[in-house]
Structure 1
Amino acid sequence: MTDRPLIKRYGPTAAVVLVAAGLAVWKLHQWVVNPWTRDGQVRANVIEIAPRVSGPIVELPIRDNQEVAEGDLLFRIDPRTFQVALDKAAAELDDTRVELTTLARQVEVERASVVQARSVIQQKESTLKAAQVQLREDQKNYDRGKALIASGSITQRDFDDDETNFVVSQSNVDEAEAALLEAKKELLQKQASLQEAIAKQGAPGDKNAQLRSAQSAVRDAELNLEFTEVRAPVDGYVTNLNLRLGRQTVANQPALALVDKNSFWVDAYIRETWIRRVNAGDDAVVTLMSHPNQPLDGTVDSLGWGIFQQTGSTGQNLLPNVEATFEWIRLAQRIPVKVTIDEVPDSIALRLGSTASVLIRANSSNSN
Structure 2
Amino acid sequence: MSETQTTPPEVTEERRRPARKRILLLSIIAAVAVLIGAVGVPFYLHAISHESTDDAFLEAHITNISPRVPGHISAVHVEDNQQVKEGDVLAELDSRDYEVALDVAQAKLESAKAAVSEVKAVASAARNILQEKKANFESELAGLEQVRAEVAEMKAGHERDSNDLDRMRQIVQAGAVSRQEYDHARAQEAMARAKLNSSEQLVQTQAAKIAEAKAAVFTAEDELHQAQAQMNARAAQLQEAEAQVEQAKLDLSYTRIVAPCSGYITKKSVEQGAYIQAGQNLFSIVSPELWVVANYKETQITHIRPGQQVEISVDTYPDVTFTGHVDSIQRGTGSRFSLLPPENAAGNFIKVVQRIPVKIVFDDNKTLQQYVLAPGMSVIPSVDISRQPGAVAGNTGNSSVVSLRP
**TM-score, normalised to structure 1's length?**
0.80
Instruction: State whether residues 142 and 162 of structure 1, in contact with CA within 8 Å, keep that contact through their aligned partners in structure 2.
Output: yes
Q: What's 2:165 paired with?
A: 148
Instruction: State whether residues 64 and 281 of structure 2, in contact with CA within 8 Å, keep that contact through their aligned partners in structure 1.
Output: yes
Call closer, same or farther: CA 1:246–1:322 in 2, change over 3 Å. Answer: farther
Separation (CA, whole Å) in 2 of partners of 1:127 and 1:366: 97
Percent identity over the alignment? 24
Q: What's 1:4 paired with?
A: none
One-letter code of the match for 1:365? Answer: Q
Separation (CA, whole Å) in 2 of partners of 1:349 and 1:276: 33
- Residue 319 of structure 2 is aligned with which of 287, 293, 303? 293
Alpha-carbon RMSD: 3.5
Q: What's 2:306 paired with?
A: 280
| Number of corresponding residues | 347
Counterpart check, 1:339 vs 2:339 = no
Separation (CA, whole Å) in 1 of partners of 2:369 and 2:32: 37
One-letter code of the match for 2:286? Answer: V
Counterpart check, 1:304 vs 2:344 = no
Q: What's 1:349 paired with?
A: 372
In the TM superposition, 1:256-267 aligns within 5 A as 256-262=283-289, 264-267=290-293
One-letter code of the match for 1:67? Answer: Q
- Residue 358 of structure 1 is aligned with which of 369, 381, 390? 381
Q: What's 1:251 paired with?
A: 278
Matched position secondary structure for 1:276: coil
Separation (CA, whole Å) in 1 of partners of 2:138 and 2:304: 95
One-letter code of the match for 1:148? Answer: L
- Residue 62 of structure 1 is aligned with which of 73, 78, 101? 78
Q: What's 1:270 paired with?
A: 296
Separation (CA, whole Å) in 2 of partners of 1:232 and 1:127: 79
Matched position secondary structure for 2:135: helix
Matched position secondary structure for 1:97: helix
- Residue 132 of structure 1 is aligned with which of 130, 144, 148? 148
One-letter code of the match for 1:342? Answer: D
Give the superposition deviation at 1:84: 2.5
Give the superposition deviation at 1:22: 0.5
Separation (CA, whole Å) in 1 of partners of 2:57 and 2:50: 19
Give the superposition deviation at 1:26: 1.2
Give the superposition deviation at 1:331: 6.0
In the TM superposition, 1:1-368 aligns within 5 A as 18=34, 21-139=37-155, 144=161, 148=165, 151=169, 153-154=182-183, 163-202=193-232, 209-262=236-289, 264-305=290-331, 306-308=333-335, 313=342, 320=346, 332-343=353-364, 344-366=367-389, 368=391
**For the pair shown, which has the larger CA radius of gyration, 1 or 2?**
2
Separation (CA, whole Å) in 1 of partners of 2:330 and 2:204: 97
Instruction: State whether residues 54 and 379 of structure 2, in contact with CA within 8 Å, keep that contact through their aligned partners in structure 1.
Output: yes
Instruction: State whether residues 145 and 154 of structure 1, in contact with CA within 8 Å, keep that contact through their aligned partners in structure 2.
Output: no
Separation (CA, whole Å) in 2 of partners of 1:168 and 1:271: 114
Give the superposition deviation at 1:298: 1.7
Call closer, same or farther: CA 1:322–1:76 in 2, change over 3 Å. Answer: farther
Separation (CA, whole Å) in 1 of partners of 2:300 and 2:152: 117
Query: Can you give the 5+ residue segments of structure 2 that lack an aligned partner in the other structure?
Result: 1-22, 170-178, 392-406
Give the superposition deviation at 1:259: 1.0
One-letter code of the match for 1:227? Answer: Y
Deviates more, 1:354-363 or 1:175-184: 354-363
Give the superposition deviation at 1:188: 2.0
One-letter code of the match for 2:297? Answer: R
Separation (CA, whole Å) in 2 of partners of 1:367 and 1:173: 101
Instruction: State whether residues 84 and 259 of structure 2, in contact with CA within 8 Å, keep that contact through their aligned partners in structure 1.
Output: yes
Query: Can you give the 5+ residue segments of structure 1 that lack an aligned partner in the other structure?
Result: 1-6
Give the superposition deviation at 1:65: 1.8
Give the superposition deviation at 1:133: 4.2
Deviates more, 1:344-353 or 1:278-287: 344-353
Give the superposition deviation at 1:178: 0.5
Give the superposition deviation at 1:308: 0.5
